[in-house]
């Protein structure tokens, strides 16, 4: 028969990932797409015992609205450690590469290195649970496990308007369609942004900027009340299309599902999932022209190992945010560096990109500062990015001979542009090879 090729190895491990994903990617809450009335509804309708209802209804409602993906890490780890099916299959596969028919390799890492093969990062976590944390590393270099995607993502929920009668703008906020999210039409109107993960950055594009500062106040749920949140708003109350709001995620921030009126109302009566929400509220009496957005996105908190520093093999926040502050000037905020638990991200499959958050009326020539796969400092001036619009991407090039990056170096990044405002992100938007479908 002979040696198993790297292509076959990758196809097999991709198939394992696809099966895992079917289990992990659950619906947001237990009642979504369900014809059943739910536990709270059953207790309310089918029992006539007020004392029983009083004792059970609150917790029953919590069960009904439970966000199954609120702790995706726990879901995944329970799956990986609790199911012997995938573990046994992967164990057999790893044992095979050490046999004569499999090539008599000393280790799975040696096989992956020789065959230029790499697993999906989530399968890599399963592999490490079998072989040990350092199974794919040698002298600080990992072979055989691709890095996870690192991106800004859509909010899980976006609501706009007057509290108590909010409009669900989640779908519109997640698209790049122009001028489809009207904001702050009246004084005290709100923008409600919800995510399964904690976050510290809000990214957005404005098709219409407010004619004056909307004088925004921000709030978060601390478990018992909506509390004031201090934000840095580069858009000056949505009056400038410089789409970045940032803040420090409060330590006591808790998920919730109701607004901050004196008599709270559910953000949504159909999906009562508890998410990490912030509320932005207009407090300016007169804004002649309210703002209109095309897209809003979140930079989720990193998912790390128990040590709090090493990345886990699921989707992660983007590498960096680049904010143009004036002609030929930018500020680069590194959000999350690549991690040596995975192969260093490179240019295979065009995975490293720039992605525009705001529209730009001018060309952008960006110089990427980084350390390469060997830890050597480098810079690479990109070709001109011609008047990028929201959602546009540009594949990043590395210096001649470089195959990957260990870090983004903010101090050596630079920009040439006539634009004086705007935001784009540096992302690892794909894997170094295509993931085989089942």
Lowest-confidence pick of 20-29, 199-208, 296-305: 20-29
| Angle at which helices 108-115 and 6-24 cross, to 10° | 120
Interatomic CA distance for residues 157 and 8, integer angstroms: 40
- Give pLDDT tens digits for 323-375: 999 999 999 999 999 999 999 999 999 999 999 999 999 999 999 999 999 99
79 φ, ψ (degrees, to nearest 5) = -65, -45
First to last CA, the chain: 24
Interatomic CA distance for residues 350 and 362, integer angstroms: 24
Q: Which has the closest alpha carbon to 10: 156, 108, 138, 130?
A: 108
Residue 111 pLDDT grade (very low, low, confident, very high; cuts 50, 70, 90): very high
Mean predicted lDDT score pLDDT of the chain: 90
Rg (alpha carbons) of the chain, rounded to whole number: 24
DSSP E strands: which ranges in 101-198?
A: 137-138, 141-142, 153-154, 157-162, 165-168, 181-182, 190-195
DSSP E strands: which ranges in 67-154?
A: 137-138, 141-142, 153-154
Interatomic CA distance for residues 397 and 347, integer angstroms: 7
Residue 377 pLDDT grade (very low, low, confident, very high; cuts 50, 70, 90): very high
What does DSSP say about strands 414-417 and 364-372: parallel, antiparallel, or unpaired? antiparallel
Owner of token pair 């993502």: 153
- Give pLDDT tens digits for 251-308: 999 999 999 999 999 998 887 888 999 999 999 999 999 999 999 999 999 999 888 8
Contact 177, 154 (CB under 8 A): no
287 φ, ψ (degrees, to nearest 5) = -130, 100
Dihedral over alpha carbons 6, 10, 16, 20 (to 10 degrees): 150
Interatomic CA distance for residues 194 and 153, integer angstroms: 12
- The pLDDT > 70 percentage for the chain reads 87
Question: Domain 153-299 belongs to what topology?
Answer: Jelly Rolls (2.60.120)
Sign, CA dihedral 351-352-356-362, equals negative
Which pTM does this prediction carry? 0.89
pLDDT at 50 over 80: no
Interatomic CA distance for residues 242 and 235, integer angstroms: 5
pLDDT at 61 over 80: no
> Side-chain half-sphere of 247: how many Cα atoms within 13 Å?
21
Q: Which has the closest alpha carbon to 365: 402, 338, 401, 327?
A: 327
Highest mean pLDDT of the ranges 21-25, 128-132, 186-190? 186-190
Q: What is the mean pLDDT of residues 69-85?
A: 65
Residue 83 pLDDT grade (very low, low, confident, very high; cuts 50, 70, 90): low
Query: Which tokens hold the place of 437?
Result: 């479908």
Contact 196, 276 (CB under 8 A): yes
Every domain of the chain with CATH number 2.60.120 lies at 153-299
């Amino acid at each position: 028969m002979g040696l198993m090729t790297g292509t076959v190895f990758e196809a097999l491990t991709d198939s394992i990932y696809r099966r895992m994903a079917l289990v992990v990617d659950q619906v947001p809450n237990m009642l979504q797409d369900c014809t059943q009335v739910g536990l709270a509804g059953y207790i309310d309708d089918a029992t006539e015992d007020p004392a029983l209802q009083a004792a059970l209804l609150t917790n029953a409602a919590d069960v009904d609205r439970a966000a199954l993906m609120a702790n995706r890490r726990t879901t995944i780890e329970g799956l990986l450690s609790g199911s012997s099916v995938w573990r046994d299959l992967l164990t057999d596969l790893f044992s095979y590469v050490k046999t004569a028919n499999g090539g008599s390799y000393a280790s799975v890492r040696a096989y992956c290195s020789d065959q230029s093969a790499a697993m999906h990062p989530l399968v890599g976590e399963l592999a490490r649970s079998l072989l040990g944390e350092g199974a794919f590393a040698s002298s600080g270099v990992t072979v055989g496990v691709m890095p996870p995607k690192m991106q800004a993502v859509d909010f899980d929920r976006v609501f706009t308007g007057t509290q108590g009668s909010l409009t669900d703008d989640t779908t519109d906020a997640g698209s790049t369609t122009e001028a489809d999210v009207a904001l702050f039409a009246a004084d005290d109107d709100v923008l409600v942004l919800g995510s399964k993960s904690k976050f510290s950055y809000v990214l957005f594009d404005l098709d219409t900027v407010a004619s004056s500062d909307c004088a925004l106040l921000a709030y978060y749920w601390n478990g018992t009340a909506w509390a004031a949140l201090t934000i840095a708003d580069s858009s000056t109350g949505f009056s400038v299309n410089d789409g970045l709001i940032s803040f420090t995620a409060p330590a006591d921030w808790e998920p919730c599902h109701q607004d901050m009126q004196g008599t709270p109302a559910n953000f949504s009566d159909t999906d009562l999932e508890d998410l990490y929400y912030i509320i932005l509220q207009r407090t300016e009496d007169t804004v002649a022209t309210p703002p209109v957005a095309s897209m809003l996105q979140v930079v989720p908190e990193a998912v790390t190992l128990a040590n709090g520093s090493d990345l886990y093999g699921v989707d992660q926040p983007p590498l960096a945010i680049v904010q143009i502050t004036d002609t030929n000037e930018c500020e680069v905020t590194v959000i999350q560096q690549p991690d040596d638990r995975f192969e260093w991200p490179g240019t295979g499959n065009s995975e490293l990109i720039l992605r525009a958050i705001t529209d730009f009326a001018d060309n952008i020539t960006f110089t990427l500062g980084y350390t390469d796969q060997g830890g050597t400092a480098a810079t690479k001036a990109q070709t001109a990015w011609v008047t990028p619009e929201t959602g546009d991407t540009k594949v990043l090039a590395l210096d001649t001979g470089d195959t990957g990056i260990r870090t983004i170096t903010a101090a050596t990044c630079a920009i040439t542009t006539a634009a004086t405002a705007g935001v784009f992100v540096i992302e690892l938007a794909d894997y170094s090879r295509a993931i085989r479908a089942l």
